[in-house]
Amino acid sequence: EAEHPELKTPASPSVRVGGQPLTAFKQVRHEIPMLSLDNVFSGEELQAFEQRMRDRLKREVSFTFCCEPKLDGLAVSLLYVDGQLVQAATRGDGTTGEEITENVRTIKAIPLSLRGEGWPARLEVRGEVVMYKKDFAALNEKQEALGLKTFANPRNAAAGTLRQLDISITASRPLRFLAYSLGEAQWQPAPACTLQSEAMARLREYGFLTPPDGKLCESVQAVEDYAQWVREHRPQFRMEIDGAVAKLDNLEAQQALGFTARAPRFAVAFKFPAEQAQTLLKDIEIQ
- Decide if 251 contacts 195 (C-beta within 8 A): yes
Q: Which of 70, 134, 149, 215 is catalytic?
A: 70
Burial of 225 (C-beta count, 10 Å sphere; 0-12/13-18/19+): middle
* Nearest Cα residue to 104 out of 81, 148, 142, 74: 74
- Report which DSSP code applies to 93: T
* Pairwise CA distance, residues 66 & 199, whole Å: 11
271 is catalytic: no
In a 13 Å sphere around the CA of 270, the CA atoms on its Cβ side amount to 29
Rg (CA), the chain: 21
The CA dihedral of 267, 58, 184, 33, to the nearest 10 degrees, is -60
* Pairwise CA distance, residues 174 & 39, whole Å: 30
Structural element, H or E, at residue 200: helix 196-205
> Catalytic residue positions?
70
